[in-house]
Each structure stands twice: as C-alpha cells, then as structure tokens.
Amino acid sequence: MFVSIIAIILLLVPQANTIITSLATEFVCAHYYLQYGQQKQEILGNIDRLVEYISEHETDTRLHFHTYSYGSLIAMDYLFPFGKKPSGNMLTKSEALITIGTPFDFISSYYSNYFVRRSSDLESKIKWLNVYSVADALGSNFRNDTEAGEAEYGLSQDGLKPININYEVMKLNEQSLTNFIMLNSLKVHTMYWPKGVDGQSCVNLIYSQMKSEGLF
C-alpha cells in the first residue's frame, strides 16, 4: 500500500521526486547530527568563533540568532547546551532567538530525550520569538493542540516559552486526500518567504514583534 501511494504521488505531482529526495537528504543529515553528534562540535565551534569575532569588532554588541528549520536546533544546542554552562560573550551579549518553522515537536517525537537537562542560564536573559504555521507539518507551535495561539511550553514544560507568531500562507484540511497527495503540508515549510524580494514574508511580523519587545 505504501509503495502504491508513493507511486501515485510521483505520477500526480511532478515535483514530488525532488521534494522527497530533498527531505530524505535533510533528514539523514539531521539524524547523524542529532543521534551521533556528527559535525556538531565543529558547527558549534564555528558559531562560537563568529560570536567572539563580532564581540571584538563591534561596540555595544547585541546578539540576535535568526534561524530557520533545522538551523533552529543548532541555535538551541548553542544557547541552551547539554552538559555544560554557556559562558563568555555568548552568555553576556545574547539577546534574542528567532526560530522559523522549527521542527521541535518532530524531533521530540523521535528523540524524546534530546532537549532534556539543558542549561537554563540564558532563559531569563533572552527573548525567544517563534514563527510557525499550523499548516506546516514540521513547524512547531509549542502547544498541545494544532491551533494558533500562545505557546504552552518551551524547551521544557516550565522553562522559557517562545512568543508565538502565527504566519499562514494557505489553509489546509488535514484530512484532505488531495493535500496529502500534493504534499502541501510539507510545501508550506518552504513558504515563509518568497524567492524574490518583492513578495510578502514573515519578516514583517518578526520586525513588528521585535520592535514591540524593544529588540532594536
């Protein structure tokens, strides 16, 4: 049945092969990063060097981490590390974390202990803005339902909660066979901004929220 469904999708949706291949590649890379820590130390080390460079070459440094999809997991690993405390310029100058389409719930489902016992040193110092779409199969709304609204939890049930920013580009019926075949819930994950510079995007909502939070 699974093979038949995939065959139908590939026949009806010309771009499905590219979408599925891209997602499979991204998932495998994320799996090796999450499960085995492959390249994790190198990636986090590069971020640390970038933070130090910015702090040394700019006055009155205020660090804002703008992240998308799996990149948000890397930012969480950096700002809320496991097994050690944040220190140095990262601890004193980090001011905001912006996550867009973060697959937090997806990762928590498959790696149930990935976000446990994280450092909470930055939770009282940082503002966390989370952009999500309820139509996005991967983006997390940090709620116990699939509705738009305020976040009910964060990295932990009682820890820092994000300020939720709902951004919808299409309304999907989760039970629709057409949406399933057309992979619309996965396509939405790539629709937070257009490829060009003239279209609408979630950036305007982020700007307004950052302004109201005093992050400028």
Q: pLDDT above 90 covers what percent of the chain?
A: 45
- Any idea which of 18-27, 65-74, 117-126, 145-154 has the lowest mean pLDDT? 18-27
Output the average pLDDT for the chain.
85
- Any idea which of 59-68, 83-92, 206-215 has the lowest mean pLDDT? 83-92
pLDDT tens-place string over residues 18-56 = 666 776 777 787 788 887 777 888 899 999 999 999 999
209 or 20: which carries more pLDDT confidence? 209
For residue 128, report the phi and psi dihedrals to the nearest 5 degrees.
Answer: -120, 115
Nearest-angstrom CA–CA distance, 22 and 17: 8
Rounded average pLDDT over 152-181 = 77
Rounded average pLDDT over 187-193 = 85
Write the CB contacts of 74 (distance below 8 Å, at least 6 apart in sequence).
Answer: 33, 43, 44, 47, 67
Q: How many domains does the chain have?
A: 1
Assessment of whether the complete model's pTM goes beyond 0.85: no
For residue 166, report the phi and psi dihedrals to the nearest 5 degrees.
Answer: -85, 130
Instruction: Please report the pLDDT score of residue 141 as a whole number.
Output: 95
Instruction: Please report the pLDDT score of residue 181 as a whole number.
Output: 46
Look up the domain containing 35 and give its range.
2-212
**Selection from 146, 139, 140, 149 nearest residue 191 by Cα:** 139
CB 173 within 8 Å of CB 180: no
With 0-12 / 13-18 / 19 or more C-beta atoms within 10 angstroms meaning exposed / middle / buried, residue 142 is: buried
Nearest-angstrom CA–CA distance, 106 and 112: 10
User: In this structure, which amino acid lies at residue 186?
Assistant: L
Residue 174 has pLDDT above 60, yes or no: no
CB 138 within 8 Å of CB 104: no
